[in-house]
Chains A and B, each alone.
Chain A
Amino acid sequence: MATIETAIRVMLTTHMGNSTVADARITHGYRLQNSVLPAVTFVVDSTTCVTVDCLLNQSTVTVTGVAVTTLAANNLGADINAGFVAGTYDSIKIYAPVRNATTLDAPEVGDGDEQTPATITLTFDVYWSV
C-alpha cells in the first residue's frame, strides 16, 4: 500500500545520487549504529489536510543525513535537498516540497560510545495527494 512514507523514500532514492548514499542506506526513522556512512533517515512527523475536501495533504518531514565529517554532512544536506523533487512516486503525487529549516551538527570525537558522527537535519513541508 502506498503511503507518504513509501513515496518519500522512492523520491529520495530516485533523485539522490546513488553514488552518494546507496538505496539501502535510506531508511525510515532508524539506522543501525554501526552501519556504513553516509546514510539518510527520514520520518513523517505529521500529516494534515490543507483543503476542506482533504484532497490535498501537508506532511512535515524531517530528514537526517549522517556522515563522518561536518563537510561530508553538509554536502549530504545539498544532496538531500536535491532529492526533494515534485512528481508522482509510488502513485502519490507530491507537489511543491518546501524546505523550512536546516541544522548542521559537528561530530563528537572520543572513545567508543563517546563518538558520534556529523549530522545534518532538514525539515520539509510536503504537499501531496493520492
Chain B
Amino acid sequence: MSVYSTTGCKVEYTAAGVGGAAGAYTQLLGWAEGTLTFTMETVDVTKVGDTDRALTYGIRSGGFTGTIIYDPANHKYLETLVSSGAANTWRWTTIPAAGGTGGAAANTYVASSMITDFAVTIASAEVVRANITVKFVGAVTYST
C-alpha cells in the first residue's frame, strides 16, 4: 500500500468571478484542516417477505468543511462568495501529483459549489480562525 503525506494537498476556487467557469484557480491560503464528504441518500425498497434489506440509490450530495487561519486580506473573496450566495467552481487535490509512492497523477475533485457556512471562531490564547462549509451544486468530476 501507499501512504501519502498531506504536503501538496490543495483547496482552490475560481476567482475569475462569482459563478465563473473553471479556469484561473486561486489557492485557499492558511488552510489548516478539512474534510471532503460524499453522501448518497438511499431509498429503502425492501418488500414484505424479503429476508434481506434492499436499498436503491437516491440523491448524491456532499461538500467540504474546513478550518482556515483567518486573514481578511487573503480571504476577502470568500466573504464575497458568502454574500453573493452564488455557486463557484472549486477544486480539491487530495493527493498531489507524484505524492507518496506511485502517486504519478494528482487526485482531484472539481465541482460547482457554494459556501453555505462561514464562521469566524475566536478563543482565548488562540489565533483567529474560520470554519467554512462548502456544498456541491451538481455533479463532481473526479480525475486521477
Tell me which residues across on chain A come within 8 A of B8, comparing CB atoms. 53
Task: Tell me whether A56 and B30 are in contact (CB under 8 A).
Answer: yes
Of B29, B33, B127, the residue contacting A127 (CB under 8 A) is: B127
Residue-wise, chain A 20-35 has the 8 Å CB interface mask toward B (1 for contact) of 0000000000000000
Q: Is B59 an interface residue (CB 8 A)?
A: no
Task: Tell me whether A51 and B32 are in contact (CB under 8 A).
Answer: yes
Q: Is A2 an interface residue (CB 8 A)?
A: no
- Shortest CB–CB separation between residue A51 and chain B, in angstroms? 5
Task: Tell me whether B33 and A52 are in contact (CB under 8 A).
Answer: yes
Task: Tell me whether A53 and B126 are in contact (CB under 8 A).
Answer: no
Interface size class of B (residues with CB under 8 A): 10 to 19
Q: Is A99 an interface residue (CB 8 A)?
A: yes
Interface residues of A, CB < 8 Å — how many?
Answer: 14
Task: Tell me whether A125 and B125 are in contact (CB under 8 A).
Answer: yes
- Shortest CB–CB separation between residue B56 and chain A, in angstroms? 37
Residue-wise, chain B 59-88 has the 8 Å CB interface mask toward A (1 for contact) of 000000000010000000000000000000
Q: Is A71 an interface residue (CB 8 A)?
A: no
Task: Tell me whether A98 and B127 are in contact (CB under 8 A).
Answer: yes
Task: Tell me whether A56 and B69 are in contact (CB under 8 A).
Answer: yes
Task: Tell me whether B125 and A51 are in contact (CB under 8 A).
Answer: no
- Shortest CB–CB separation between residue B6 and chain A, in angstroms? 5
Using a CB-CB cutoff of 8 Å, which residues 62-121 of chain B contact chain A? 69
The chain A residue with its CB closest to the CB of B126 is A98
Tell me which residues across on chain A come within 8 A of B127, comparing CB atoms. 95-96, 98, 125, 127
What residues make up the interface of A, taking CB atoms closer than 8 Å to B?
Answer: 50-56, 95-96, 98-100, 125, 127
9 A-B residue pairs with CB within 8 Å:
A50-B69, A51-B29, A51-B31, A52-B10, A52-B34, A53-B9, A54-B7, A98-B127, A125-B127
